[in-house]
């Protein structure tokens, strides 16, 4: 199954960065759209009549004379851009009945968004600016705009431009229909130049089986993943991974048991309940820990991990070594750092494979192998995670073998030198 799903990509969230509304590249405000005065990158983007800016908001914004001021454009966080994507969704539906049906088919979790206050935030950042400040209340209703915000929150994928300076969210009309699973059976890649998404089967998918992707971070433990899904996608995940105390044997959340000094691991009795007690898996032990104690420990370690200096590889290695006696070596806090180090060694300036001493190459191979063990369970098959680790491991093994041979050669030469009469 290749290139299974096509895409429609026109509706972006920009996270407050000033971008060209046609091609989504960063802009500095030096070229403004001659009609509406919003920044574009160049005349080419203004001339592009089938570009999204011309097709959607340009005329409307021009008619109301609404555009960011120079002051607003200089801000790091220009919230006016938050209004563009919801506006485009509503306009798209208003103009085209077929597209309107497409938008109607997408979930917006209205009730839940109301309950947790996102509704209020969207009212403040999108609905009120569009309806009141931009005087477009007669064209766009509260409900329509709220629904567009909800559709984006629930269905959008995160995408980046080529140099990763712009992070945006985009709705892909087919890919967003994929269900979530914390162990997805597809691999999605977005070409940063074209923003086209390719969805490939990572493992064999039989006819009738659900096609799934992950809406959250695979390397987060169950507590964080479920909280993130609840907060951003508004549902309680009960997939096989979330329901398993050991996360399918990957142990991404497991803690070393304090009573049997690390020989066994402590896992939640009920992984779907954040208030659950945790219990040692050792048959003889069965030591239990309360949820607040677990929470305290994890908050403290997470804070320490967040404060780490990622340029200091020695500090990262010490952190891993220190906390491996308290956490499972695969614990998400450690595995995130291991993943970083695994890519740092061999790729960062001063750490190219050819420059690294044998012991560092060996360390990188060990990290690759540990991470591959996790990848095999959580992102099996042809996933991006799994494939990139295999590639890194192969290159490192090759370099290691080369390094060993030249070291042996050196030893032989030394020996010959020593025995020279």
Which residues lie near Zn ion (CB under 5 A)?
20, 22-23, 33, 35-36, 41, 45, 58, 182, 237, 239, 242, 257, 259-260, 264, 280, 282, 285, 287
Task: Please name which of 41, 29, 147, 39 lies closest in space to residue 86, comparing C-alpha atoms.
Answer: 147
Q: Which tokens in the block code for residue 124?
A: 């403040």
- CB closer to Zn ion, 173 vs 195: 195
Q: Which tokens in the block code for residue 242?
A: 């979330």
Task: Report d(CA 356, CA 43) in Å as an integer.
Answer: 48
Task: Report d(CA 353, CA 409) in Å as an integer.
Answer: 19
Q: Cβ 242 to Zn ion, closest distance in Å? A: 3
Q: Which residues contact 376 (CB under 8 A, 6 or more apart)?
A: 386
H/E run at residue 142: helix 142-155
Q: Cβ 374 to Zn ion, closest distance in Å? A: 16
Q: Cβ 280 to Zn ion, closest distance in Å? A: 3
State whether residue 204 is helix, strand or coil. Answer: coil
DSSP, residue by residue, 368-400:
HHHHHHHHHHHS-SS-HHHHHHHHHHHHHHHHH
- CB closer to Zn ion, 178 vs 280: 280
Q: Cβ 187 to Zn ion, closest distance in Å? A: 18
- CB closer to Zn ion, 241 vs 386: 241
Distance of CA 17 to the CA centre of its chain: 18
- CB closer to Zn ion, 28 vs 414: 28
Q: Cβ 358 to Zn ion, closest distance in Å? A: 38
- CB closer to Zn ion, 58 vs 199: 58
Task: Report d(CA 116, CA 104) in Å as an integer.
Answer: 23
Q: Which residues contact 2 (CB under 8 A, 6 or more apart)?
A: 200
Task: Report d(CA 347, CA 228) in Å as an integer.
Answer: 30
Return the number of other C-beta atoms located less than 10 Å from residue 416's C-beta.
9
Q: Cβ 388 to Zn ion, closest distance in Å? A: 23
Q: Cβ 215 to Zn ion, closest distance in Å? A: 10
- CB closer to Zn ion, 40 vs 337: 40
Task: Please name which of 150, 155, 154, 158 lies closest in space to residue 197, comparing C-alpha atoms.
Answer: 158
Task: Report d(CA 328, CA 266) in Å as an integer.
Answer: 9
Q: Cβ 146 to Zn ion, closest distance in Å? A: 25
- CB closer to Zn ion, 131 vs 224: 224
- CB closer to Zn ion, 162 vs 407: 162
* Cβ atoms of residues 20 and 41 within 8 Å: yes
């Amino acid at each position: 199954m290749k290139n299974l799903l096509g895409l429609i990509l026109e509706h972006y969230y920009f996270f407050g960065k000033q971008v060209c509304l046609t091609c989504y590249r960063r802009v500095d405000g030096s070229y403004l759209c001659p009609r509406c005065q919003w920044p574009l990158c160049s005349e080419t983007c203004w001339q592009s009549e089938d570009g999204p800016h011309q097709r959607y908001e340009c005329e409307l914004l021009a008619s109301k004379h609404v555009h960011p001021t120079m002051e607003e454009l200089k801000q790091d966080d220009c919230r006016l851009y938050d209004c563009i994507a919801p506006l485009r969704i509503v306009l798209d539906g208003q103009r085209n009945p077929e597209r309107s049906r497409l938008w109607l088919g997408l979930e917006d979790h209205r009730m839940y968004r109301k309950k947790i206050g996102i509704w209020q935030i969207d009212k403040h950042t999108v609905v009120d600016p569009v309806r009141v400040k931009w005087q477009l209340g007669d064209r766009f209703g509260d409900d329509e705009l709220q629904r567009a915000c909800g559709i984006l929150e629930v269905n959008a994928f995160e995408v980046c431009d080529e140099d990763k300076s712009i992070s945006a969210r985009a709705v892909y009309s087919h890919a967003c229909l994929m269900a979530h699973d914390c162990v997805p059976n597809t691999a999605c890649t977005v070409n940063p130049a074209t923003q086209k998404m390719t969805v490939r089967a990572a493992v064999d998918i039989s006819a009738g089986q659900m096609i799934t992707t992950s809406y959250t971070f695979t390397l987060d433990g169950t507590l964080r993943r479920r909280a993130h899904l609840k907060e951003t996608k508004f549902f309680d995940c009960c997939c096989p991974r979330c329901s398993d105390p050991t996360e399918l044997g990957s142990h991404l959340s497991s803690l070393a048991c304090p009573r049997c000094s690390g020989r066994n691991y402590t896992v939640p009795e009920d992984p779907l309940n954040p208030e659950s007690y945790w219990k040692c898996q050792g048959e003889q032990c069965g030591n239990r820990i309360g949820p607040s104690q677990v929470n305290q420990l994890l908050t403290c370690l997470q804070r320490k991990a967040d404060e780490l200096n990622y340029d200091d590889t020695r500090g990262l290695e010490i952190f891993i070594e220190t906390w491996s006696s308290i956490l499972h070596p695969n614990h998400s806090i450690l595995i995130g750092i291991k993943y970083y180090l695994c890519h740092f060694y061999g790729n960062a300036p001063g750490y190219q494979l050819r420059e690294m001493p044998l012991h560092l190459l060996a360390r990188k191979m060990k990290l690759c192998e540990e991470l591959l063990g996790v990848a095999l369970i959580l992102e099996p098959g042809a996933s991006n995670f799994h494939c990139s680790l295999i590639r890194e491991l192969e290159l490192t093994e090759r370099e290691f073998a080369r390094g060993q041979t030249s070291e042996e050669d050196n030893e032989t030469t030394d020996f010959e030198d020593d025995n020279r009469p």
